[in-house]
Amino acid sequence: MAPLDFESFYNVIDGKLEATAETRHGINPATLEQLPPVPVSTRNDVNRAVEAAQRAAAAWAATPIEERKQKVIQYADAVDALANEFGKMMTLEQGKPLSHAIGEAHGAAYFLKGFAKMDLPDRVVEDTEHRRVVTRYVPIGVCVGIVPWNLTFKMGPALVAGCTIILKPSPFTPYCGLKMIELAQQFFPPGVVQVLSGEDSLGPMLTEHPDVAKISFTGSTGTGIRVLQSSAPSLKRITLELGGNDPAIICSDIDIPKVAARVAMKSFVNSGQVCISIKRLYVHSSIYEEFMAELSKATKSLVVGNGMNESTDLGPIQNAMQYERLKDFVASIKRDKLTIAVGDLENTFSTGNGYFMSPLLIDNPPEDSRAVVEEPFGPILPVLKWDTEEDVIHRANHSADGLGASVWSRDMAQAERMAGQLQAGLVWINTHQELQVDAVFGGHKHSGIGSELGIEGLKAYCLTQSVIHDKDGA
């Protein structure tokens, strides 16, 4: 593997590293220091990348799937070998603790390899004396992945399926994405996997482009709707992975200290900036006080700080826009006069350098308060009481979102009965915020359209084609 430097960052178009006339730069959210310049792509860059992707598409689709998978595995090994470097870059640009970031880089390799284990066999529907009918999966062609993180969820299946893909990382966190695709050039032919960085205005240039056949988007529900609208005139295939407001339901028979500690992490890890964090917590009223005491203890023990410090549990909020949004969220908590179990509304934001925020636990707020209804995407957790299964299921489902949901109980019959009624794409029992490469992940309701991961996530980069052969017909 040729060495990679983590100091200069380029677009990758048609196998070549390219700088742009205009540049921008990210900010380290823990120090507010500028990170290195990154490209600001133009419409001309978009057009050239799409043309290169089209040129590369036929040969890549014709490459045997076993060969494509081999290349994905070799690439995954290279990502894994550089996990420490990617992890450091991730902490600098995103803020999360270094150990979590290194784990995520290893995770990227795991997800790539997981897709490389999947197959797309033809399905023989009929094979009789006079007829043979087969359904096949053929690659869609030129795809675009718009991602805030985990671009492997899009890149892995696209490459295995035989598509070419252009990735657009978030303007706030472009660095690891640009380097990942630079590294990919050592394994894939020019034009097969490319990357463009830029401002938010780059997104529409890609979603409008008539020669892009598919968009896979991860981000907020509002932007997802714009992506859908902009893709409609050219009838693009679409996958949308959008926001969530995940409920977790705690039943009365659990081990209170153990579950409270786990729930604190599954709510506040990455400072709540995870689509599948616990965002509404329903605790059975018979254990509410005791559970709240343990959850408060676990929450208070979380250390907020620079992700480069070993003791840090929660890094900063990723960017200024989200930090301001959270300030507005906290102002509405004050206006609504909600009871705070942990945290101090006057001092929850740091006054020094860095977008730091201490976690807030809200004690039994009204079900219709903003803190319960809206995804904060920050370390704010409302805790609510419940008495009957019917009532808590109704409240958990009473949301426009349907990304993830969990039930925590030692009574398996109760857990499965309740889990079976939850309206979400991922339902966990006695855990939350876990993804597995071979288990499909896709939001219900306003949390998305289509799915990623699992064989369905691979088929999302394919068109179906049935071949009906009349053996006597000619």
What is the contact surface with ligand NAD in residues (CB under 6 A)? 146, 148, 168, 170-171, 200, 203-204, 207, 218-220, 223, 226-227, 241-244, 275, 375, 377, 403, 443, 448
Which is closer to ligand NAD, CB of 39 or CB of 162? 39
Question: Cα separation of 329 and 374, whole Å?
Answer: 9
CB of 414 to ligand NAD, least distance (A): 28
Question: Cα separation of 384 and 339, whole Å?
Answer: 12
Which is closer to ligand NAD, CB of 342 or CB of 437? 437
Question: What number of other Cβ atoms are within 10 A of residue 404's Cβ?
Answer: 30
At 266, is the secondary structure helix, strand, or coil?
A: helix
Which is closer to ligand NAD, CB of 139 or CB of 457? 457
Question: Cα separation of 203 and 43, whole Å?
Answer: 11
Q: Distance from first CA to last CA of the chain, Å, rounded? A: 54
Q: Is 241 a catalytic residue?
A: yes
Largest Cα span, the chain? 81
Q: Break the chain down into helix, strand, coil percent, rounded to 5.
A: 40, 25, 40
Which is closer to ligand NAD, CB of 244 or CB of 343? 244
What does the chain come to in residues? 474
CB of 49 to ligand NAD, least distance (A): 15
CB of 174 to ligand NAD, least distance (A): 9
Pairing label, strands 401-402, 444-445: antiparallel
DSSP 59-122: HHHHS-HHHHHHHHHHHHHHHHHTHHHHHHHHHHHH---HHHHHHHHHHHHHHHHHHHT-----
Nearest residue by C-beta to ligand NAD?
Answer: 203
CB of 133 to ligand NAD, least distance (A): 36
Cβ atoms of residues 180 and 188 within 8 Å? no
Given 104, 182, 241, 375, which residue is catalytic?
241
Which is closer to ligand NAD, CB of 142 or CB of 415? 142
- How many helices (H) and strands (E) the chain has is answered by 15, 22
CB of 247 to ligand NAD, least distance (A): 14
Which is closer to ligand NAD, CB of 222 or CB of 420? 222
CB of 243 to ligand NAD, least distance (A): 3
Which is closer to ligand NAD, CB of 170 or CB of 406? 170
CB of 227 to ligand NAD, least distance (A): 5
CB of 224 to ligand NAD, least distance (A): 7
Which is closer to ligand NAD, CB of 241 or CB of 294? 241
Cβ atoms of residues 379 and 322 within 8 Å? no
Question: Amino acid letter at 432?
Answer: H
CB of 220 to ligand NAD, least distance (A): 3
On the 0-12 / 13-18 / 19+ scale of CB atoms within 10 A, 374 is middle
**CA angle 332–148–180, rounded 5-degree value:** 155
Which structure tokens are listed for 238? 């679409």
- Give, in order, the Cα–Cα distances in Å from 142 to each of 58, 197, 233, 452: 10, 18, 17, 18
Q: Any idea which residue has 């308060």 for tokens?
A: 369
Give me the sheet containing 123-127, strands edge to edge: 123-127, 131-139, 462-470
Question: Cα separation of 145 and 240, whole Å?
Answer: 10
Question: Cα separation of 239 and 254, whole Å?
Answer: 37
Which is closer to ligand NAD, CB of 227 or CB of 357? 227
Residues with active-site annotation:
241
